[in-house]
Amino acid sequence: MIARLLEQWRGALEQWRQEVPANSRPVDRNVPAFEWRTTFKSRIGVAAVFLGLWAIGVEAKLFNEQVLQHDRWVQSAKRQQSQTSPLQAKRGDIVDRKGRVLATSLDVDTIIAVPSAIGDQVATVNQLCAVFRDCSSADRAELVDRLKRNRYFANIRRFVSSDVAAKVAALKLDGIGFIKESHREYPNNELAAQVLGFAGADNRGLSGLELAYEPFIRGKDGVVLVQTDARGKAFYNRIERAPTSGSTVELTIDSFLQHVAERELRIGVAENRALGGTAIVMDPHTGEVLAMANEPTFDPNRYREATKVEWHNRAVEDLYEPGSTFKVVTASAAIQEKVMPVDTLIDVRGGRISIGPRVVRDTHDYGILSFTDVIVKSSNVGAIRIGFKLGTERLSDYVQKFGFGRPVSPDFPSESAGIVWERSKWTDSALASVSMGYQVGVTPSVRSPTVATTSSLVSCVRSTRTVVASPCGQRFCVRR
């Protein structure tokens, strides 16, 4: 067999030699051979140069990433492996002048999730909603979508009751946990609602004193750190920075007097079929506000259910013409400027006075009245004569000194400034109107301290005294 194959191979080789053309046969051995070694060496040199350049490029890239960009990549790794979430601080209490709590914060359970640690989001949401018992189809879809996002921390439900928290804990669901959050509570419900205002779910004051003293009450939030492995699964969390509680704010309000004022105001509004009303109780010697009632009112624990009309603090927002109660300002200015002694007799005979074409009348013809009786009888004619004696310049000065035409208290961000005409626009008719309390727009909060301080003959204290106590127990007055 092998011999036959060898014979076939020889025959094929002879046939090939005969068929190959003469010009393609090997050259004479005596002619110099092609220098292939030189070509090979040159090609090796070129390849070595390219290989060297490639190695230098790789080394340069590694040096840039590992040395020059080291801090950048370390921070990037930390961001991927560590996630932080704010931990709300506990708001400070608001108390009345005797230390009785008007607003406080309670630690309430909030259900949280680490989405990367949850395998079946739909099953987890179904189990949670079975406990909540109030999930709509939209709520379920929103929860599932929240968990499917590649996030490391998510709120499931905030401020749940202790019963709901216990039932969820009993399920022992992967990736589901709890944190304590501060929730604002108003133990007296509607008491002083417009004065206190309310705080939202984000633990920030939204109205009233809760908003006005936000920097003092809020405190400083903490930080929760969540660390994950290379697959994005959380394996460790801790409180990186503990929250700092806010300060306690002590008011001049007396909660008992506040209750009485609100009760009587509610009765008065109902008896007179009024749309609303306000009442302010003050200490005439200091100007401290002891009660500030409004009707209608609301429960700040359920502020979302109330209307803006019920949120409205009429004592500092509603404008009206003070009328005869303003005559004490005219009288005070006259006494201070020594225009008229208090025993001066003023002619109001006829019960009327003409200012150009305009005629102003008293309800009775009082004849001759003393300076004091002009205020006691509330004589329009007498007040106008005192105003004319003062003149536009001096009366307008005292209108400003008593705080009309500008907000008087930093405790109420929504306080109206009132309306006072510019001095250059005062005609004789305007001077007459202002002297008896018209063409002036004021709020009850401005009107009340004016009357209180002039009756006690002390300088006007127009804002509620507020004392703030720091967490360490030291007390200091807020001056703003």
- CATH number assigned to the domain comprising residue 292: 3.30.450.330
Q: Which of 427, 442, 457 is the last residue of a domain?
A: 442
- The model's confidence at residue 54, banded by pLDDT at 50, 70 and 90, is confident
- Identify whether residues 311 and 346 lie together within a single domain: no
Rounded CA Rg of the chain = 44
Residues 117, 245 within the same domain? yes
Q: Residue 184 gets which letter from DSSP?
A: E
95-107: b or e for each residue (b if 16 or more CB lie within 10 Å)?
bbbeeeebbbbee
Shared domain for 263 and 209, answered yes or no, is: no
Please check whether residues 308 and 276 belong to one and the same domain.
yes
Say whether pLDDT at 233 is over 60.
no
Task: Identify the domain boundary among 284, 316, 348.
Answer: 316
Whether residue 184 sits in one domain with residue 332: no
Residue 269 pLDDT level (bands cut at 50, 70, 90): very high
pLDDT for 265 equals 94
Domain assignment present for residue 51? The answer is: no
CATH number at residue 395: 3.40.710.10
- Give the relative orientation of helices 380-390 and 428-435 as an angle to the nearest 10 degrees: 120
173 and 282 assigned to the same domain: no
247 plus 263 within the same structural domain: no
At 154-188, the pLDDT tens digits run: 888 888 888 888 888 888 888 888 888 778 899 99
Do residues 238 and 276 both lie within one domain?
no
Please give the mean pLDDT across all residues of the chain. Answer: 79
Q: How buried is residue 41: exposed, middle or buried, by Cβ count under 10 Å (0-12/13-18/19+)?
A: exposed
Checking if the pLDDT of 473 tops 80, the result is no
310 and 383 assigned to the same domain: no
Q: Which amino acid is at 304?
A: R
**Residue 16 within any structural domain of the chain:** no
DSSP string across 232-284:
S-EEEEEEEE--BPPPEEEES--HHHHHHHHHHHHHHHHHTT-S-EEEEEE-T
Count: domains in the chain:
3
Between vectors from CA 255 to CA 249 and to CA 260, what angle results, nearest 5°? 150
40 pLDDT exceeds 80?
A: no
Please tell me whether residue 432 adopts helix, strand or coil conformation: helix
Phi-psi region at 211: left, alpha or beta (left = phi > 0; alpha = psi -120 to 50): alpha
What is the structure's pLDDT at 194? 92
Which pLDDT score, from 0 to 100, does residue 474 have? 46
The whole-angstrom separation of Cα 370 and Cα 282 is: 29
User: What is the C-alpha separation between 322 and 313, in angstroms, rounded?
Assistant: 18
Over 50: is that where the pLDDT of 456 sits? no
Euclidean distance between CA atoms 453 and 411, whole angstroms: 19
**Residue 78 confidence (pLDDT):** 64
* Residue 1 falls inside a structural domain: no
CB under 8 Å to 370, separation ≥6 — which residues? 342, 343, 344, 345, 346
Beta bridge mates, 477: 467
Q: With cut-offs at 50, 70 and 90, classify the pLDDT of residue 100.
A: very high
CB atoms within 10 A of CB 210: 25
- What's the per-residue H, E or C state across 341-390? CCCCEEEEHHHEEEECCEEEECCCCCEEEEHHHHHHCCCHHHHHHHHHHH
User: What CA–CA distance (Å, rounded) separates 262 from 287?
Assistant: 20
Same domain, 278 and 359: no
- Read off the pLDDT of each residue in 204-227 and give the average, rounded to a whole number: 84
Q: Is 403 helix (H, G, I), strand (E, B) or coil?
A: coil
**pLDDT higher for 331 or 159?**
331
Q: What is the pLDDT of residue 405?
A: 82
Domain-terminating residue out of 217, 251, 285: 251
Q: Are 111 and 124 in contact (CB under 8 A)?
A: no
Report the pLDDT value the prediction gives residue 455, as an integer from 0 to 100: 30
The lowest-confidence range among 133-137, 272-276, 371-375, 390-394 is: 133-137
Verify that 244 and 262 share a domain, yes or no: no
Q: Which one of 62-76, 88-102, 452-466 scores highest in mean pLDDT?
A: 88-102
Copy the structure tokens of residue 194: 């417009």
Q: What is the mean pLDDT of residues 117-121?
A: 82
Is 4 among the domain residues?
no
Helices (H) and strands (E) in the chain, counts: 18, 18
Average pLDDT over residues 131-154: 82
Within a domain: residue 366?
yes
CATH of the domain at 183: 3.90.1310.10
Q: Is residue 67 part of a domain?
A: no
- Sequence-separated (6 or more) residues with CB below 8 Å from residue 328: 375, 450, 451, 454, 455
Co-location of 323 and 242 in the same domain: no
Asked whether residue 73 is domain-assigned, the answer is no
Q: Using the predicted structure, report yes or no on whether residue 17 has a pLDDT greater than 70.
A: no
Q: Is pLDDT above 60 for 410?
A: yes
Asked if residues 386 and 340 have their Cβ atoms less than 8 Å apart, the reply is yes
Buried b (16+ CB within 10 A) or exposed e, 49-79: eeeeeeeeeeeeeeeeeeeeeeeeeeeeeee
Residue 336 included in any domain: yes
Please give the Cα distance from 226 to 240 (Å, whole number): 9
Give the SS3 label for residue 444: helix
Q: Which of 15, 85, 96 is nearest to 238 (CA)?
A: 85
Q: Which domain holds residue 305?
A: 255-316
Residue 42 has pLDDT above 70, yes or no: yes
